[in-house]
Amino acid sequence: MKLIYLFCLLYLGVIANIFAQELLFGSVVRVIDGDTVELKVESLSQRIRLSEIDAPEKNQFWGFESSKALEKKLLGKSVRVVINDVDRYGRTIGTIFVGEASINELMVLEGHAWVYRDYSDDQNLIDLEDLARAGRKGLWTKENPIPPWQWRRERRSQ
């Protein structure tokens, strides 16, 4: 019986640890660009890359506007981050929420970012991008905006 009790405690501890690692709560202290922020969690700062979206680079068309839009939504605000992964640069990849609003979704809906199709097949995000494109919002005011992944590839090859 003690063994079963010990196993249950160990199992609950592992489950609690898994769930604890899936969420972060903190305050956004810096917006780096349209899809990356610095989050202060207690006394530590952590870079967060918004999952499933890709915003224009700073030197790219709509890059400044995208960064400013994210800044307006997040700077100084308390947020919840649902963690999806960690990228090769050590950034936490996640969905950021202010209250119940997904900032990742809002950035796409308002035309400040693309759905990053290499990393997402979320039909809801794709539908939001289609709405932004049809409404010619944000980066979609330009006839054929260049996606950031293509823009970066072209810059590396030069």
| Pairing verdict, β 44-50 and 101-102 | unpaired
CA geometry: angle 144, 110, 27, nearest 5 deg: 125
- Cβ burial of 27 (10 Å; 0-12, 13-18, 19+) is middle
CB distance 141 to 132 below 8 Å? no
- Annotated catalytic residue, options 30, 47, 80, 91: 91
49 is catalytic: yes
80 is catalytic: no
- Annotated catalytic residue, options 52, 57, 105, 129: 57
Q: DSSP letter at 154?
A: H
- Cβ burial of 103 (10 Å; 0-12, 13-18, 19+) is buried
Element (H, E) at 24: strand 23-33
| Pairing verdict, β 44-50 and 92-98 | parallel
- Annotated catalytic residue, options 49, 52, 105, 110: 49
Total length of the chain: 158
Catalogue the active-site residues. Answer: 49, 57, 91
